[in-house]
Structure 1
Amino acid sequence: MKKFLSFACAYCIFAVVSANAQSLPKSNAADPFAIDRGSSFSASTAKRTVGTEVIPASAAHAKIVSDFEQALGLLKKYYVNSSRLSSAELTKSSITSMLEELDPHSSYFDPSEFSELLGEQDSEYSGTGSTISNYAKNGINETYVISTHPDSAAAKASLQYGDRIVAVNGSPASGLGSETVRDRVRGPRGSIVSLTIERASTGRIETLELRRDRIFQPTLPNFFIVRDGVGYIDLSEGFSHTTSTEFAAALKELHRRGMSSLILDLRGNTGGILDQAIMVAEEFLPAGSSIISQKGRSSFDNREWRSANRTPENVPLVVLVNDRTASASEVVAGALQDNDRALIMGQTTFGKGLVQNVVGLPAGSGLTLTTARYFTPSGRSIQRTYSSSGMYDYFNHRSATSGEHAATHTITNRPVFGGNGIAPDEPLETERFDAQNARLLDPIFFFIRDLLNPRTSATGSSITLKDQVRQSIIFGNALPDQDDLVRKFGDFAKSAKFNVSDDVIRSKARFISSRLNYELALAAFGPESAKRMQIAADIEIQRAIEALPKAATLAENARRARFAIDNKKARRVAFPTGQGRNRRN
């Protein structure tokens, strides 16, 4: 389960048509928003009335349906454990098992899940505007407020980092997962939800009546200048139907602030709307450049997108990726890599090159059904093999297979390989987030919660660090007395509440220091300041900044190669074979 979860996370599907990119007519192409099987999908749907077509049933098909109905009836009549006999659950399990025989990304959604998939079209949800998370102390799981959206009901009620949600509408929240609490808090716009809160600052219990409203969830939560002239865009939240608009606005604002080069962060971006990914890539690719092609079962699904942008961005560009970069975000990385427009850095991406259609079923449930493969501009499929491994292995383990695939070539003739995601141009080692890192999140949260609230004494300090945190963020430095802060955390984490060993604290010292800085900034000033603090300590971003001159050289080489190709094509048109300028009579 994710440690951070919005009160009403919007995983949406939308009807979007690219304003610039040229392609054949679009079908109901869908793309999974997350690479965890059966989670939520975002899709580019041309129509909302999906799944209305009736498929004629053959005699063999009718017999299968009859057998299924008979088997379901026998189960309900004779099975020993009647408490497990939910027709809806049995049907869901049956269809899910059937789809698992096909590929890892075809999925079934029950009516509630399908309604959530289709319903939130505007990167919005109706709720109070808080981000919440689960943390455990003494083995007891509780839900805490992490941040609030500006001008939301939660912000107006002065909910703060560390406030504990005691109950929702009078129902206790202790022991519940944050997803369950989120679902109880969300509701129709304009309706009232009662939240019982324990204030982190005073320990006082309060009951608040909050009116739900629409909360916009940007897919570009952060963009800023990280160093003189170096812009940074965090595109880790997936692609919704507002992404391309947000992205264009971010580029414009960064130029206003003096951007002369750019780092695009796709790490952790697990996909989204295909059209939006195409439009993001198109921002950097000149007219005529291939972005992506698609091949499916029918000719209707075979098409290619090319850029129609006659004034593309020309700043040097580095794109950061990792093994959680998947699907639509791989479309962006692949298009920029094959066109030599960006230097790709990080780790090999997930490797999902399949496209799904979203299909509604008569009873209100629905499917996402794989109908096509997509190919990068050089003609490679990045889809990893899934036929020889189970679902767990597919989603959780990786085996390099690039050597088994023939090389294709970029516009400057660099070799690239398919079949195993997008391999970075410059690989970067990264510290893996393992079970020990995850175990440290609870004590780090409670340590910071106590440290910033004078009423508590677990840290041995009653001072407030907000001014120190603010100055550190402004000047991009580490927090004052960092060694002392880490030492105090070590004493705190070794207590009986968490029982973290000295060995773990020593081996994870770098992670602890970085995470303490992040949580302090998050608690004191919110997500944007926390992101700035995180970037200041991010070695991969520092490496990306150092590589910007290489990215500039790569883009210039691509420009020259494209110019030579265009000139060659122009000569062929002007002087067909046998009609050269120096032809003698």
Structure 2
Amino acid sequence: MRNRLAFFVTVVIITAALLGGWFGDRVSAGPPLEKDTQVLLKTFTEALAVIQANYIRPVTSETLIEASVRGMLRTLDPHSSFFATSDYSRLQEEQQGKYYGLGITIRAESPGSGRVVVVEPPAPGTPAYKVGMKAGDIISKIEGQSIEDWDVNEDVIPNLKGPKGTKVNITVERPGEPQPVEMVVERDEIPLFTIKYAFPLESGIGYIRLDKFSETSSHELDEALKRLEEASLKGLILDLRDNPGGSLSQAIEVADRFLAKDQLIVSTKGRQGREPHEYRAPRGRRYMYPMIVLINQNSASASEIVAGALQDHDRALIVGETSFGKALVQTIYPLDGRRGLALTTGRYYTPADRLIQRDYSQGFYDYFYTRAKVESKDRQQKQTDGGRTVYGGGGITPDYEVTLKADKLGRLIDRRNLFYDFATKLTTGEVKSDVKYDYSGKKLSAEEKARVKDELDVTDQTLSMFKQYLQEKKVAFSEQSFEESKDLIRNRLKQELFLLVFESDREGYRVALEVDQQVQKAIELLPQAQVLAQNSVARQR
């Protein structure tokens, strides 16, 4: 029970940080403590001394005091958080949009393993790209030491990161290579892009995925809209799914790109007696076109501010699942020793005066993991500019609810990395089918890439061979389950083929959107979003 509780507390702290988003400016710690508080602190220091002198094993002051601060914050709300030195450094990296390291995205090779797989091709110019690292490479050693028993977050990542200009020796196992590859990688500054995908889905329909809100988000959005030729857009899908939030100032900047000048974006209210603060669009949009915003259960905080503002002003239709429901505002207070405190100092309200914060009175575990659905009749009701009913008290409710179907067989195959393994066999020529797949390691011209994109498909014969491969690997499934998941399995295998052939996860991601029900529904609803946008403009005249 003690281990389970420790695990839960750690996860809650991390989840609170990820779903929280940090809104206020960094400010210094508050005024001196009152005399009564100073007297009470004597009890605390006495308890600390007794523990250190008599507990069954030695325990440091740092461990006890940091745990005490975390316990104190847990009596307040789910999003007030304490950051130890390493956590505070990661928070600063997220906010500033950069870190120093190799420039790779990794995951554990298998649950509990310290060995990590590079899951995306390194971006050109990054240290990993310069030494020839590829998607699918497995990092097995760092500085000659096996990392099999290392913890990915506590040991592997900190050893891969480091000051700019320093070097790290890593051993890489590569599919198809008989011997491990030794690499010496010089660390450098790595930008943390918040917009990784921005491209046209169809003629005139743009798609932008915003993963989080950091200091660079609004600039990245401007660049993405420029590449999409915003002036000629017939529609835009803004994907905020799994976006945990971030900077309030960046949420305002992003919403400003789509709203009219001076329209209210969000208001914040703090302690009783303190004036509410309104944030309005400072510049306003340049172009008007139909918009769809995608959200899901993990869209929180700053992403809910943007979605709520666009919904309340009838600027966009919201599609997907009800969002997380986080409307608590945190201010960051730096503490001594490069530690930090994120303290809830207010609540935010959408332009229609909705408070979308979910109830957390039943405990933090239920708040983060259960997420019981609140019926619309039990929720606060407000009106958009055009008179549509919207709801508070439990996240942003989409205008059109679309829940993604669970694909249990696909997840099982993914966990064992079998999509990637089979795709590797196809692209290296180890397995041959009725379509040419063996393009691995070949440099393709622009014309060849265009042709291969059209030809590179998962045929019925290839799918049948993959099914046989799964049986050989003793994956348990029935004929019915395979048939039900067939289209998703075909698409998932195609994603891996595109990743390996074009050495770009962008192309594989575009393939994934072909079967993304929420994206496809968004495309279908663009004509209705057009009517909504036209009515919104008419009201502003």
Contact 1:170/1:196 (<8 A) preserved = yes
Residues 553-582 of structure 1 show CA distances to partners (whole Å, capped at 9, x for unaligned) of: 01111222233xxxxxxxxxxxxxxxxxxx
Mark the runs of 5 or more structure 1 residues left unpaired by the alignment. 1-33, 564-585
- Give how far 1:367 is off: 1.2
Contact 1:111/1:363 (<8 A) preserved = yes
**1:254 partnered with 2:228:** yes
Contact 2:113/2:150 (<8 A) preserved = no
- Give how far 1:142 is off: 2.8
**1:272 partnered with 2:246:** yes
Contact 1:454/1:462 (<8 A) preserved = no
Contact 2:98/2:189 (<8 A) preserved = yes
- Give how far 1:285 is off: 0.9
Match of 1:527 in 2: 505
Task: Pick one of 366, 369, 374 that aligns with 1:396.
Answer: 369
Measured in 2, the distance between the counterparts of 1:160 and 1:278 equals 37
Which runs of structure 2 are paired with 1:55-134 in the superposition (5 Å)?
Answer: 55-59=32-36, 61-80=37-56, 82=57, 85-118=59-92, 122-134=96-108
- Give how far 1:119 is off: 5.1
> Taking structure 1 as reference, are residues 264 and 483 closer, same or farther at Cα in structure 2, changes over 3 Å only?
same
Match of 2:478 in 1: 502
Task: Pick one of 460, 463, 469 that aligns with 1:486.
Answer: 463
Contact 1:225/1:259 (<8 A) preserved = no
Residues 93-139 of structure 1 show CA distances to partners (whole Å, capped at 9, x for unaligned) of: 222222122111111111221233235654111111222222239x9
Any idea what SS the aligned residue of 1:341 has?
coil
> Taking structure 1 as reference, are residues 255 and 37 closer, same or farther at Cα in structure 2, changes over 3 Å only?
same
Measured in 2, the distance between the counterparts of 1:74 and 1:357 equals 34
> Taking structure 1 as reference, are residues 408 and 335 closer, same or farther at Cα in structure 2, changes over 3 Å only?
same
Number of corresponding residues: 520
Match of 1:581 in 2: none
Match of 1:163 in 2: 137
Residues 8-64 of structure 1 show CA distances to partners (whole Å, capped at 9, x for unaligned) of: xxxxxxxxxxxxxxxxxxxxxxxxxx98135586535545xx3343432322x2233
Measured in 2, the distance between the counterparts of 1:488 and 1:456 equals 13
Measured in 1, the distance between the counterparts of 2:482 and 2:158 equals 36
> Taking structure 1 as reference, are residues 540 and 560 closer, same or farther at Cα in structure 2, changes over 3 Å only?
same
**1:558 partnered with 2:541:** no
Which runs of structure 2 are paired with 1:77-226 in the superposition (5 Å)?
Answer: 77-80=53-56, 82=57, 85-118=59-92, 122-136=96-110, 142-146=115-119, 147-179=121-153, 180-226=155-201
- Give how far 1:534 is off: 1.3
Residues 64-118 of structure 1 show CA distances to partners (whole Å, capped at 9, x for unaligned) of: 32222222222222222x16x2432232222222212211111111122123323
Contact 2:196/2:209 (<8 A) preserved = yes
Residues 539-562 of structure 1 show CA distances to partners (whole Å, capped at 9, x for unaligned) of: 221211111110010111122223
Measured in 1, the distance between the counterparts of 2:69 and 2:413 equals 36
Match of 1:25 in 2: none
**1:352 partnered with 2:331:** no
Match of 2:384 in 1: 410
Alignment-mate amino acid for residue 165 of structure 1? I
Measured in 1, the distance between the counterparts of 2:366 and 2:143 equals 41
Any idea what SS the aligned residue of 1:399 has?
coil
Any idea what SS the aligned residue of 2:148 has?
coil
- Give how far 1:158 is off: 1.2
Task: Pick one of 297, 311, 317 that aligns with 1:323.
Answer: 297
Any idea what SS the aligned residue of 1:522 has?
helix
Measured in 2, the distance between the counterparts of 1:458 and 1:134 equals 29
Measured in 1, the distance between the counterparts of 2:530 and 2:125 equals 41
Task: Pick one of 465, 477, 494 that aligns with 1:517.
Answer: 494
Mark the runs of 5 or more structure 2 residues left unpaired by the alignment. 1-12
- Give how far 1:320 is off: 1.0
Measured in 2, the distance between the counterparts of 1:135 and 1:375 equals 43
Alignment-mate amino acid for residue 172 of structure 2? I
Any idea what SS the aligned residue of 1:560 has?
helix
Contact 1:52/1:362 (<8 A) preserved = no
> Taking structure 1 as reference, are residues 121 and 357 closer, same or farther at Cα in structure 2, changes over 3 Å only?
closer
> Taking structure 1 as reference, are residues 439 and 199 closer, same or farther at Cα in structure 2, changes over 3 Å only?
closer
Measured in 2, the distance between the counterparts of 1:288 and 1:255 equals 25
> Taking structure 1 as reference, are residues 210 and 364 closer, same or farther at Cα in structure 2, changes over 3 Å only?
closer
Alignment-mate amino acid for residue 226 of structure 1? L
TM-score, normalised via structure 2 length: 0.88
Any idea what SS the aligned residue of 1:360 has?
strand
Match of 1:37 in 2: 16
> Taking structure 1 as reference, are residues 492 and 416 closer, same or farther at Cα in structure 2, changes over 3 Å only?
same
TM-score, normalised via structure 1 length: 0.81
